[in-house]
Copies of this chain bind each other. A is one copy, B any other.
């Protein structure tokens, strides 16, 4: 069911983009500036929204997606309440989404890596409902929602949204029924899996987020997250040096999720 591992390096693609003098996209639809890397040549096309399209359809889609946008570490791609007009395909980098309650409490609701689609929460209400913040310098493709039908992309969009619904289900599961160890183990396994699907090592990677952000996402305090990292290390499941993670015993981690509570 899972597609074969892809061998490319999306996080290293946007370095040669040149100086900051990027041309404004023109309003003239009939003759817009083409992307240096249109979808047909994009490393992420097996993973991104156009996934599964034929060449012909891909060309149509490329007509709609002709703008890129860079978001520097710490900056917002958009904020909750901004009016919705586009969804975004993450080309490179790493972002988090978070929502804020009236009283100031906030929670991280997701971490996003290359190939994922952002901003779909805005379709329903014409406004985005979450903040999207870059955890490292990132680049997205801008997909104007109003033109999605031109490309016959509705099906793909349905699928992307549906997959997000399913992901939310597992997070609800995690927050609703799992103990602290299980949550962290599940979180790490999820990251590992997603890195692997992008051609990176499933065992060794760099955390882009702080302990506090992890804790917020999985419903724990930052101290508990830190303690669990230490304990997993003692138990030989992994090594942790700051944000550099190395999973030594994947099946051991998986076992945490069943063994702990017997």
Contacts and interface: CB of A to CB of B under 8 A. Distances in A.
A166 B170 CA distance: 15
A237 interface: no
B162 A124 contact: yes
A197 interface: no
A173 interface: yes
Given A158-B157, A176-B175, A177-B105, A169 B122 contact: no
Q: Quick one: copies of this chain in the complex?
A: 2
Nearest to A259: B103
B121 A165 contact: yes
A125 interface: yes
A193 interface: no
Nearest to A105: B177
Given A107-B173, A176-B107, A216-B176, A162 B120 contact: yes
SS class, residues of chain A in contact with chain B? helix
Contact of A162 (B102, B109, B121, B169): B121
A257 B120 CA distance: 28
B166 A168 contact: no
A100 to B, nearest CB: 9
Contact of A161 (B158, B173, B258): B158
Contacts of A177: 101, 105, 107, 216, 219
B122 A162 contact: yes
Interface in A163-212: 163-166, 168-173, 175-177
A129 interface: yes
Interface of A: 99, 101-103, 105, 107, 109, 120-125, 129-130, 149, 154, 157-166, 168-173, 175-177, 216-219, 257-258
Given A124-B159, A171-B172, 19 more contacts: A101-B173, A103-B257, A103-B258, A105-B177, A109-B169, A123-B158, A124-B158, A124-B161, A124-B162, A129-B169, A130-B169, A158-B158, A158-B161, A161-B161, A164-B165, A165-B165, A165-B168, A168-B168, A176-B217
7 contacts: A99-B173, A121-B165, A123-B162, A124-B158, A124-B160, A158-B158, A165-B165
10 cross-chain pairs, A with B, having the tightest CB-CB distances, nearest first: A124-B162, A123-B162, A175-B175, A168-B168, A154-B154, A124-B163, A176-B219, A161-B161, A107-B176, A124-B159
